[in-house]
Amino acid sequence: MHDPLLVPELKEMLHDGDEAAMREFCGVFHPGVVAENLAELPTADAWRVLSHTDLQRQVEVFEFMERERQMELVSTLPQPQLLSLIEEMSADDRADLLRSMEDDQLERLLPLIAQAERSEIRRLLSYPESSAGALMTTDYASLPEELSVRDALAALHHQAPDRETIYYIYVLDELRHLRGFVSLRKLILARPDLLVREIMDRDVLSVRVTEDQESVANKMARYDFIAMPVVDDQNRLVGIITHDDVLDVLREEATEDAHRMGAVGPLEDSYLATPFHTLAWKRGIWLVLLLVAGFGTSWLLNHYDAVTENHEWLVWFLPLVLASGGNSGSQSATLIIRAMSLGELNKQNQALILRREVATGVSLGLAMGLLALMFAVCYVAWPSALVVGGTIALVVTLGTTNGTLLPIVLRNLGFDPALMSNPLIASLSDALGVLTYYNVALYCLSLA
Amino acid sequence: MHDPLLVPELKEMLHDGDEAAMREFCGVFHPGVVAENLAELPTADAWRVLSHTDLQRQVEVFEFMERERQMELVSTLPQPQLLSLIEEMSADDRADLLRSMEDDQLERLLPLIAQAERSEIRRLLSYPESSAGALMTTDYASLPEELSVRDALAALHHQAPDRETIYYIYVLDELRHLRGFVSLRKLILARPDLLVREIMDRDVLSVRVTEDQESVANKMARYDFIAMPVVDDQNRLVGIITHDDVLDVLREEATEDAHRMGAVGPLEDSYLATPFHTLAWKRGIWLVLLLVAGFGTSWLLNHYDAVTENHEWLVWFLPLVLASGGNSGSQSATLIIRAMSLGELNKQNQALILRREVATGVSLGLAMGLLALMFAVCYVAWPSALVVGGTIALVVTLGTTNGTLLPIVLRNLGFDPALMSNPLIASLSDALGVLTYYNVALYCLSLA
């Protein structure tokens, strides 16, 4: 969302070497806006503009840049500038950046970073991707419980400049165990002579450092926190996760699920930033798999040649029968997978939900079967129309059941349930649909 | 996520009439946790527990209750209690609650609510659903620009108790025009004798009151705000939107998109809270539409009987051909619709993206066609295999193009692009696939 008026102005500043204007540009706008407008310039020019502001501002803007632009700067900036940028970054953004570097690049940089930051970086990098530990920052505000409110506010003055947030302050004992938390609002409203211990909330909701980021995001959405504390298995505070990181997680997870559901391997970058060949590969691999499944259906059909030959009308309704199974299966899978992502569906209620979906499948199956029967009699005679209606009833019921069962089975086996994409459900339904259709036909027509 | 140990304890408290314990329960835990545990009790019992705590706490817990439980309380609580609950609620949550009431219920309640709150409610209810106005709260903290930092902090002391957030404070002139904003962090770090005007940020990013909530959420996610100001068309501050509301919007919008993409009418409640018949209806209506489309394909196939009769092998590959078109179309539609939701795809770059997807379609089409040809020669003779390979190449290219084009067209016409669900794309591809397949066959076989 760059401003179409700002970019030409920036180019003019660069052309005129107007340092005061560049400094003002970096200082006046929100760092996100500065980053977006700089994205329209070549990397070297962007850095020239940014070099006229102070380090803190440079870091703020740098943190808002797209990963690709950040990596370009990492490989082109002179080492002293790069090191001070990295040392000044917030712990979580820095860990994310270093995580996307090549191993040899990382091993070259790390020894140059100050000792204190370095051990912090190594610790954050050690947490598995998509865990609370990989998402958190260690720049949190904390206080001991025996401080008075007056002294607590004074202590916060010192902590404020380099903490990610000072609006939630965590109360720790000398071994860093999480004893409680207090909001800045409560602190400034409290009588100055009270102790932190007397005003803090003792029921602190926290997440484990190994917890999955999706579950963290669901908890933060449920309880409306600005930040949530992350603890180790001895309830010691190791970091906090802030509201902005959770927004990013929710967007990423929803995108990943959507892509999987459409049979596209999840993209690491945005759609526009993903190179053509990566996109083609992430789609092609699924298309090939589905093609192989499709040839399986061909092989099945091949065995029913004699039936087809005698009842050519069977072919007319073949796409309809297969689509009906796939559609009802896609609906169930979509509902189930989304409910799982939102944390609504768990191991306790999965049996209940399976029963409910099967009941829905039977109801929908009967209704659709009846409707299909009514349509089919416009094309074919009575016993043939019954084959169509009966098959539709069966495939809708089966489709719904499979669309519910398969994601549940996938999750219980430890896979991402969203791998059960709509196209995959449709492919599996195709094979099942052919078997159902021809067997119903053989049975009914033998009776007729 | 109720605590399995707390619920029996609550039941015991109720049985013993232990008021002190009930008061403690309501006070000690996070209001969200209190609400979740009370959800396991009948409404009357839940209210009995809650009635032993103060009004402010009651409201906090009430705001965390599921809508269904809130509505039960609305219709069962004695009027005085209900009115004080509603008057004490935060403006945005209250508007949401009143929005879900029946018209006659609302008209009975409104005249009883204090005048000041009442006009506020009418104003918030007047904004269209899913707009920034419907999402915002009017409980924001604001300051005039000529105040000193010292006086500003004193003024905040008065505002703090009933404001949704005091961490971002908006600076207004006497006509409520938005002049700037200052964070509480900046305010407590600043020299007390400075003026608010001297330390405030003047480049305030704001949203219009009529702006769509999805676009608001994307902006908040991009700039990492705790809250974002909402202004009218004269840049006067009318409310703020806070981080927690945006989290809910992102979850809702992602769920709505996911459901639409799976051909399910979006649910208003969670999957588990949606009644059986609503769910069946929201699925059934789409299944019927897709069934009608399916009969359209039957009608087409019906016209190619003569070809089928002479070349029975055509039937074997029919499901494969149709699935390939649907799958590649679903992939494109998924990528495009998700990019639109994230705000990555706009009217400026849609032509570029269409070209890119068509190029992807041609590449994937050629690759899949070649692969299909190689598989098909295992089943049929050379010219027939060529029909299969050629058709697959064409339907994958066409599917990709349609999967890209149709959501773009839908959006340009003002509809939700996610209506172009995977099953709908598959259905349209079925009809197109039949036409392509038989025409390629007729052409190639006439040459052979």
* Structure token pair of residue B345: 């795809």
- Please give the pLDDT value at position B20: 93
**Residue A84: Cβ within 10 Å count:** 14
- Please give the pLDDT value at position B448: 64
The alpha-helical segments, DSSP class H, found in B137-227 are: 149-159, 184-189, 196-199, 213-223
The reply to whether residue B298 touches residue A319, judged by beta carbons under 8 angstroms, is yes
> How far is residue A347 from each of residues A215, A253, A335, measured CA to CA in Å?
15, 21, 16
Residues B281 and B396 in one domain: yes
Nearest to B301 by CA among B189, B437, B398: B437
DSSP code, position B128: P
In total, the C-beta contacts within 8 angstroms joining chain A to chain B are 350
**Mean pLDDT lowest among A389-393, B12-16, B142-146, B271-275:** B271-275
- Tell me whether B270 touches chain A (CB under 8 Å): yes
Q: Is residue A270 part of a domain?
A: no
CATH of the domain at B200: 3.10.580.10
**B277-319: per-residue pLDDT in tens?**
898 999 999 999 999 999 999 999 989 988 888 888 999 999 9
Residues A236 and A291 in one domain: no
Query: Residue B310 burial by CB count (10 A; 0-12/13-18/19+): exposed, middle or buried?
Result: exposed
Can you tell me the distance from the alpha carbon of A411 to that of A340, in angstroms, rounded to the nearest whole number? Answer: 9
> In A113-264, which ranges are E strands?
140-144, 165-172, 178-183, 207-208, 227-231, 237-242
Q: Half-sphere exposure of residue B8, counting CA atoms within 13 Å on the CB side?
A: 2
Nearest to B432 by CA among B404, B401, B408, B409: B401
**Residue A433: Cβ within 10 Å count:** 29
Distance of CA B63 to the CA centre of its chain: 20
Q: SS3 for A169?
A: strand
Can you tell me the distance from the alpha carbon of B24 to that of A49, in angstroms, rounded to the nearest whole number? Answer: 58
- Tell me whether B306 touches chain A (CB under 8 Å): no
Q: Are B164 and B137 in contact (CB under 8 A)?
A: yes
Residues A169 and A187 in one domain: yes
Shortest Cα–Cα distance, A273 to chain B (Å): 10
Contacts of B270 in chain A (CB under 8 A): 339, 342, 344
Can you tell me the distance from the alpha carbon of B391 to that of A208, in angstroms, rounded to the nearest whole number? Answer: 53
Q: Are B118 and B107 in contact (CB under 8 A)?
A: no
* Share of residues in chain B with pLDDT > 70 (%): 99
Domain count, chain A: 3
pLDDT confidence tier of residue B246, bands split at 50, 70 and 90: very high
Q: Is residue B41 part of a domain?
A: yes
| Nearest neighbour of A339 by CB, restricted to B29, B271, B299 | B271
Mean pLDDT of chain B: 91
Nearest CA in chain A to B428: A323
Q: Of the residues A250, A285, A304, which one is the last residue of a structural domain?
A: A250
Q: Of the residues B126, B150, B178, which one is the last residue of a structural domain?
A: B126
Q: What is the ipTM of this complex?
A: 0.85
Q: Which residue has the tokens 């992350």?
A: A230
Residues A417 and A300 in one domain: yes
Q: Please determine, for residue B262, whether its predicted confidence score (pLDDT) is greater than 60.
A: yes
Residues A203 and A226 in one domain: yes
Q: Which residue has the tokens 């000193």?
A: B148
Q: Of the residues B78, B96, B126, which one is the last residue of a structural domain?
A: B126
Residues B116 and B141 in one domain: no
Residues A427 and A294 in one domain: yes
Residues B104 and B210 in one domain: no
Mean pLDDT in runs of 10 for chain A (448 residues)? 79 92 91 92 94 93 92 91 90 89 86 84 88 93 94 90 89 94 92 94 93 91 92 94 92 90 86 87 91 92 89 92 94 92 86 91 95 91 91 96 94 90 92 94 84
- Please give the pLDDT value at position A91: 87
Nearest CA in chain B to A272: B344
Q: Is residue B94 part of a domain?
A: yes
Can you tell me the distance from the alpha carbon of B270 to that of B279, in angstroms, rounded to the nearest whole number? Answer: 11
Q: Please determine, for residue B1, whether its predicted confidence score (pLDDT) is greater than 60.
A: no
Domain that holds residue A363: 276-447
CATH of the domain at A414: 1.10.357.20
Nearest to A356 by CA among B261, B256, B277, B262: B277
Can you tell me the distance from the alpha carbon of A260 to that of A417, in angstroms, rounded to the nearest whole number? Answer: 9
Shortest Cα–Cα distance, B107 to chain A (Å): 31
Q: Which of A334, A362, A408, A435 should we substitute to test contact with B (largest number of B Cβ atoms within 10 Å)? A: A334
Q: Is residue A235 part of a domain?
A: yes
* Structure token pair of residue B195: 């003026």
Can you tell me the distance from the alpha carbon of B263 to that of B285, in angstroms, rounded to the nearest whole number? Answer: 9
Bridge-based pairing state of the strands A237-242 and B140-144: unpaired
Tell me which residues of chain B, numbers 201 to 240, contact chain A at a CB-CB cutoff of 8 Å: 201-203, 205, 217, 220-226
Q: Is residue A263 part of a domain?
A: no
Residues B291 and B421 in one domain: yes
Helix (H) / strand (E) element for B178: namely strand B178-183
- Please give the pLDDT value at position B446: 83
Q: Is residue B84 part of a domain?
A: yes
Residues A142 and A112 in one domain: no
Can you tell me the distance from the alpha carbon of B88 to that of B61, in angstroms, rounded to the nearest whole number? Answer: 12
> How far is residue B209 from each of residues A87, A425, B11, measured CA to CA in Å?
40, 42, 46
DSSP code, position B265: P
Residues B91 and B169 in one domain: no
- Please give the pLDDT value at position B273: 82
Nearest to A139 by CA among A205, A100, A87: A87
Q: Are B249 and B214 in contact (CB under 8 A)?
A: yes
* CB neighbour list of residue A274: distance below 8 Å, 6 or more residues apart: A267, A268
Q: Is the pTM higher than 0.90? A: no
Q: Is residue B358 part of a domain?
A: yes
**B72-131: per-residue pLDDT in tens?**
999 899 988 999 999 899 888 998 899 888 888 888 888 888 887 888 888 888 998 889
Residues A228 and A371 in one domain: no
Q: Is residue B60 part of a domain?
A: yes
Tell me which residues of chain B, numbers 377 to 396, contact chain A at a CB-CB cutoff of 8 Å: 379, 392, 396
